[in-house]
Structure 1
Amino acid sequence: MLNYLAQNPFAYLFLALAIGYPLGRVTVKGINLGATAGTLVVSIGIALAASALFGITYDIPGLVEDIFLMLFMYALGMKVGPQFFSGLARGGLDFVVIGLIVVFSNFLIVFFGVKLIDLGPGYAAGIISGSYTVTAVMGVAQSAVSSGAFKLPEGITADMVGANMAAGYAISYVLSSIFIILLIKYLPKMFGHDPVEAAKQAEEEFSGGEDGGALPGTAGASILGFTDKQIRSYLVEHEELAGQSVHDLFKKYPHAAILKVVRGDEVLDAQDNPTIQMGDIIGVMGEYSVLLSGSEKVGNEVAEPRARMVDIEVADIHVGKSDYAGMTLQELGAEIGFGVHLKSMFRAGVAIPHLPKTVVEKGDVLRLAGPSWCVNQAAKALKSVPIVESAYTEISFMSAALVMGFIIGHASLELGGIPFALGTSAGCMLMGILVSWLRTRNPDFGGPTSEGARAFLNDIGLSLFVAVLGAGVGPKIMSSFQGTTVIWIAIIGLLGALVPPFLAWCYGYYIRKMNPIILAGGCAGGRNSTPALNGVQDISGSAISAVAYPVPYALTSAIVLILGYIAMVFS
């Protein structure tokens, strides 16, 4: 079996995923490894057993590793990009400082700790990756080795460096994953605060913000959610309505739109602008308060499902070079708002209040809900196209972005005689950030990107990368566990994982006097620990801590990769 896997790397890689994913989901007292760490453990275990028992090694082309890592990095950039920029605008300086404290103190503790103990090359990057639970750090560190930015010392091979990296990652990852949850979860209580009461205070403080839902071009943008708009059916009994077209009535009553007309066995769609007759049953969409007076102005409300069976879609529309730019929302609604209602409004990637007197500007994104033909009609008037989430992904644009990211990351600059490059994987991530950020401004930019496809690239890319990494370093990993190496990795890894968020807590608590639950959420974001955030939400009985998570999370997700690369280059 092990020999078969050596001859068929495809089987080896996907067997590692098949076993690693369920292993990563095994939970002991609320703690689990996660899919990525589970895959790495299985891959190393198979390779180690094959080498120790039968002398079999697994030779998988490095190109496979590079391709999947760059796909993962681009997908990760697409995920954090909207948070990275719009979050910086919304979150405030404190969240930024928290992230910077955590990420730079982690680097200093680990890098100089490894130097002080005189551990071999690769350990610093591996411990940073594990203590920060960001596996991608190993990818950029590995690229520093393969590109020649890190000069291999005499007698040290790239495989030995990779083995050191994997050893540092594996030990520090497991320990930090467990203890970071406990630390951040109980920090408010340790400082004498009731988490539930603190969360209630935070909810009151943050309740005034504008929540427009998912940003344009991101997952969840086309979810209808809750709305005060309803569709109700009425029997036309008032003679003054007869003889008027659907569009004529909308101009008189712009707060309600007739979407269906039922006339005997015939169902007429409002798209054809039918003329209303006495005895028709009409399906009217509008706010609940407006529809309550329908019986007085139209006739008795009746139970006619054919008049109310209307498919509603949600789409983002970018306001282009339109004559309507400069109008208020109230004026715009009267002109082109037939059959649609405005769910959210975004300007420069940030949700803004959509009040009747709000002026529409060129470049705004309007999130409209209504029948597809009504949404299309409004988009055409605004000289735009409606963007709806779909399963389709624009492959050509994504490929072009990856090429640009590769070129940017591959460009090298010599500093002190040492070639320094951002790294192709980090370059791809930056392109993902840029593309997703631009899509929050104009969701039509670069064509649609399916969230399912993005999530798949994210998961499969990282998992296959670590599977290839484990195959290469597995046979060498035992040489890294000599003497007291394991103990020092554990100590440095725990210090790198726990001290930085505690320092950030002290800054927010003593200097900035932040709400302890909000502060805990920011510390979890700075440490890139979603399980820690879940722990805070669990103990506080509220999700409010999540408002502080995106900014430090997105900021440190990018910076830690650069610091991991630097740690490898100067190790």
Structure 2
Amino acid sequence: MLTWFIDTLQKYPEIAVMLTLLIGYLIGKAHIKGFTLGTVTGVLLVGIAIGSFHISIPSETKSIFFLFFLFCTGYGIGPQFFQGLKKDGLPIALFSFIVCCSSLLFCWGIASLLHFETGTTAGLMSGANTCSAIIGVASNTINELDLNDDQKTTLVNQIPIAYAVTYIFGTAGTSWFLSVIGPWFMSGSRAKLIEETKELEAKVSEASAEGEENITNAYDQVAFRAYLVNGELAGEGRTVGEIEDMLHDKKRVLYILRVRRNGKLFETSNGFIIKPGDIIAIGGQRSAAIASESLLGKEVADAELLTFPVQSASVIITNKAANNKPLKEFSRHPEFHGISVRKITRSGIEMPLSAHTIVQKGDVVEMVGIQQELDKAVAVLGYKERSGVETDIVYLAAGIVAGTLFGSLSVRLGNVPVELSTSGGALIAGLVFGWARGIHPRFGYIPAASQWVLTKLGLHVFIAIVGLSASEGFLKGLKEEGVTLFLAGVVLSLLPMVVALFLSKYVFKFHPAIGLGACAGAHDESAPLLAVQDALNSKVPALGYTVAYAVANITLTTSGVIIVLLMHKGG
């Protein structure tokens, strides 16, 4: 049975790839006392194990999947990458670039000191910085070197070995360092930083000194409720506009949507007069409604009054008039009457929400309200995101073709041919095409689910084939340099983060919570961000993460080319 199974895998290598994905994903997602190996590492290790059966897979196959991964990665971060190059995002962009360059220099120094070979160094750079894209970019660069095929194969096969040895600490160790050591370095203690973060949240949300619920979460939970109006709210009679202004002045963004009077239902307008005894339907922030109960009156259960069509819409910020504006500027906008913001995502990361949260081009804002009012609000912000599932294949393919053609162009530095490579070209094309789609979102639609599939499947199939192909020399390489390589990975993971903390606190002088988010972004990994957010019980670090991540993703991926050339020249 075993012989038949091995023969089948050798005859049909596509089965081996799918089996690697199946087992690797299961192992990578398994939790053991809160620790996970990670799906990329899981797939790589399983691929190496199954590859011991001598599975032969054409190298071009993995390249195709890698191009999908790189293009969709660039497409997803494109708007934030170019936003980061503008005035407001430039400090974080420069910070991230410096941290990534320091990592490249540290890697070169460590590898030179320990006499690592080129492939091992590239894998060290990839694993310690948790940047899987370096594997493909470095492999392509090695294949362009003036070496014979056996030498190229040896060097390329060293990359996944070093990656597997160093990746785990690169993820888990850095997450621990930024969430435990980071708060101590930035503020003296975690408790003090939590307090400083709450103060920042209170400041940007304009929370009153009377102990109202922090508005940071107000936009996050939209509610529709009914209240029996009392004399305090309506006096002898006040218009809807006057009452809403009263509520807004108290930092409670609520809207009167419908009224029941003497058993009859009425639609409201700004001049509609509310009287004591009316039952009003209120829409807006859940916390604002709770905080306003004494003013609004007694809450009642009126199903008929609250039965009206409410829809949600996701809007891409494209209009210049909306770019770089805080949410509070929209709350009193006439076209936003009755509209509540549920959440804002930037590069797939949910942003903390407050009255002072700045929306930027490319942000996706989820709003809730009545359809007619939603249409007016959408026109102010930008373009209503499609809700379909169909990917614009023409746009996707055109981007990859344009990027790979550009990346294939070559120049020579001395005797060394240098090119961006098809993988680097695909990543840059993804950035440009993603940015272009953010400006003109009527074309180039790639749903979030499709981006996830193409990115995850592209990367993991690529890694599976790398593991299957590199199996033969894995154990040998691990025995020769295992402990030394692991310790080198620990040093390379932590040194740039020490630099990042120092720069954040003393040079760029970011707020500690935002600085920790920027440190996580500069490491090109979401796990440290989640660890920091969990430690601070706040989403504020995400404000520093997105631009830093976008810049790090490009810089670290490009370093895959540079580290190979540095090591090859040095050798």
* TM surpasses 0.5: yes
Take 1:144 and 1:33, find their aligned partners in 2: how far apart are those partners?
28
- CA distance in 2 between counterparts of 1:207 and 1:253 reads 25
Deviation at 1:9, TM superposition (A): 1.5
Distance 1:282 1:397 in 2: 52
Pick one of 142, 151, 159 that aligns with 2:146.
Answer: 151
**What letter corresponds to residue 39 of structure 1 in structure 2?**
V
Match of 2:403 in 1: 405
> 2:179 pairs with 179, 182, 185, which one?
185
Output the CA distance in 1 between the equivalents of 2:227 and 2:534: 44
Q: Secondary structure at the match of 1:308?
A: coil
- Give the superposition deviation at 1:89: 5.0
Residues 292-311 of structure 1 aligned to structure 2 (within 5 Å): 305-310=303-308, 311=310
Displacement after TM superposition at 1:21 (Å): 0.9
Q: 2:424 aligns with which of 426, 446, 452?
A: 426
Give 2:174's aligned amino acid.
Answer: I
- Name 1:176's counterpart in structure 2: 170
Distance, in Å, in 1 between the alignment partners of 2:244 and 2:534 is: 46
Pick the aligned partner of 2:221 from 201, 223, 226: 226
Matched, 1:66 2:63: yes
- Distance in 1 (CA, whole Å) between partners of 2:178 and 2:296 is 55
Instruction: Decide whether aligned partners of structure 1 residues 516 and 306 sit closer, same or farther in structure 2, where only a CA change above 3 A counts.
Output: closer
> CA 1:5–1:364 in structure 2 vs 1: closer, same or farther (change >3 Å)?
closer
CA drift at 1:567: 1.5
1:551 and 1:70 mapped to 2: Cα distance?
A: 23
What amino acid is the match of 2:161? Answer: A
- Residue aligning to 1:114: 111
Q: Is residue 558 of structure 2 the alignment partner of residue 562 of structure 1?
A: yes
Whole-angstrom distance in 2 between the partners of 1:555 and 1:388: 28
Distance 1:166 1:129 in 2: 9
Q: 1:503 & 1:417 partners in 2: Cα distance? A: 35
Cα distance per residue 1:193-248 (max 9 Å; x no partner): 1212212213323655589xxxxxxxxxxxx9434x747599xxxxxxxxxxxxxx
CA distance in 2 between partners of 1:546 and 1:113 (Å): 31
Q: Secondary structure at the match of 1:305?
A: coil
C-alpha separation in 2, matches of 1:515 and 1:384:
31
In structure 2, the CA distance between the partners of 1:370 and 1:459, relative to structure 1 (3 Å rule), is same
1:276 aligned partner? none
Greater CA deviation, 422-431 or 286-295? 286-295
Shift of 1:489: 2.0
How much does 1:367 deviate?
A: 6.9
CA, structure 1 residues 368+30, in 2 after alignment: closer, same or farther (shift >3 Å)?
closer
SS at match of 2:57: coil
Alignment correspondent of 1:535: 531
Greater shift, 549-558 or 25-34, is seen at 25-34
Deviations 1:67-91 (A, max 9, x none): 1111111221233234323355587
Structure 2 equivalent of residue 40 of structure 1: 44
Aligned-partner SS, 2:118:
coil
Call closer, same or farther: CA 1:352–1:179 in 2, change over 3 Å.
closer
Which stretch shows the higher mean deviation, 535-544 or 371-380?
A: 371-380
8 Å contact kept, 1:233–1:307: no
Matching residue of 1:372: 371
Q: 1:3 to 1:435 in 2, by over 3 A?
A: same
In structure 1, what is the Cα distance between the partners aligned to 2:75 and 2:292?
A: 41
Match of 1:18 in 2: 22
State the secondary structure of the residue aligned to 1:126. helix
Q: Aligned pair in 2 of structure 1 residues 190, 46: CA closer, same or farther (>3 Å)? A: same
Tell me what 2:389 maps to.
391
Identify the residue that residue 189 of structure 2 maps to in structure 1. 194
Task: Give the deviation of 1:92 after TM superposition.
Answer: 5.2
The residue identity in structure 1 corresponding to 2:200 is E
Deviation, 1:38, is 0.3
Structural mapping, 1:198-217, within 5 Å: 198-205=193-200, 207-209=202-204
Q: Secondary structure at the match of 2:384?
A: coil
Q: CA distance change for structure 1 residues 134 and 268 in 2, over 3 Å: closer, same or farther?
A: same
Deviation at 1:178, TM superposition (A): 3.7
Aligned residues: 510
2:234 is matched with none
Contact 1:254–1:333 under 8 Å retained in 2: no
Q: d(CA) in 2 for partners of 1:175 and 1:563?
A: 20
Q: Contact 1:129 / 1:169 at 8 angstroms: preserved in 2?
A: yes
Distance in 1 between residues matched to 2:84 and 2:524, nearest whole Å: 15
Shift of 1:345: 11
Q: Report the AA paired with residue 563 of structure 2.
A: A
Change (3 A) 1:104 1:253: closer
Residue 137 of structure 1 aligns with an amino acid whose one-letter code is I
* Secondary structure of 1:201 counterpart: helix
Do the aligned residues in 1 keep the contact of 2:518 with 2:541 (CA within 8 Å)?
yes
Give the Cα–Cα distance (whole angstroms) in 1 for the partners of residues 302 and 338 of structure 2.
Answer: 19
Task: Measure, in 2, the Cα distance between the counterparts of 1:435 and 1:110.
Answer: 32
Partner of 1:506: 502
Q: Please list, as runs of the form range in 1=range in 2, the aligned pairs for 1:413-452 lying within 5 A after superposition.
A: 413-442=411-440, 444-452=441-449
Q: What one-letter code is carried by the residue in structure 1 that aligns with 2:312?
A: E
SS state at 1:429 partner: helix
Gaps of 5+ in 1: 51-56, 212-223, 235-248, 271-280, 323-328, 356-361
Match of 2:313 in 1: 314
Identity in percent = 23
The alpha-carbon deviation at position 560 of structure 1 amounts to 0.7
3-state SS of the aligned residue for 1:567? helix
| Matching residue's letter, 2:177 | L
CA contact (8 A) 1:260 1:308 kept: no
C-alpha distance in structure 1 between counterparts of 2:64 and 2:398, whole Å: 14
SS of 2:146's partner is coil
Partner SS state of residue 40, structure 1:
helix
Whole-Å Cα distance in 2 between the matches of residues 531 and 363 of structure 1? 23
1:58: how far off? 1.6
Q: CA deviation at 1:445?
A: 4.0
1:160 aligns with 2:154: yes
Distance of 1:170 and 1:34 partners within structure 2? 11
**Residues in 2 aligned to 1:378 and 1:563: alpha-carbon distance in whole angstroms:** 43
TM superposition shift of 1:564: 0.9
Partner Cα separation in structure 2 for residue 521 and residue 340 of structure 1:
30
SS of the residue aligned with 1:125?
Answer: helix
Is residue 2:127 matched to residue 1:130?
yes
What's the offset of the Cα at 1:12? 0.4
Report if the CA contact (8 A) 2:182-2:501 is conserved: no
Q: 1:269 to 1:194 in 2, by over 3 A?
A: closer
Report the secondary structure of 1:27's partner residue. Answer: coil
Q: Give the conservation status (yes or no) of the 8 Å contact 1:74–1:430.
A: yes
State whether structure 2 residue 545 is matched by structure 1 residue 549.
yes
Per-residue CA distance 1:317-336 (angstroms, 9 max, x = gap): 778899xxxxxx899965x6
Which structure is larger by alpha-carbon Rg, 1 or 2? 1
Following the alignment from structure 1 to structure 2, what is the Cα–Cα distance between the partners of residues 261 and 412? 73
Counterpart in the other structure of 2:465: 468
Q: TM-score, normalised by structure 1?
A: 0.73
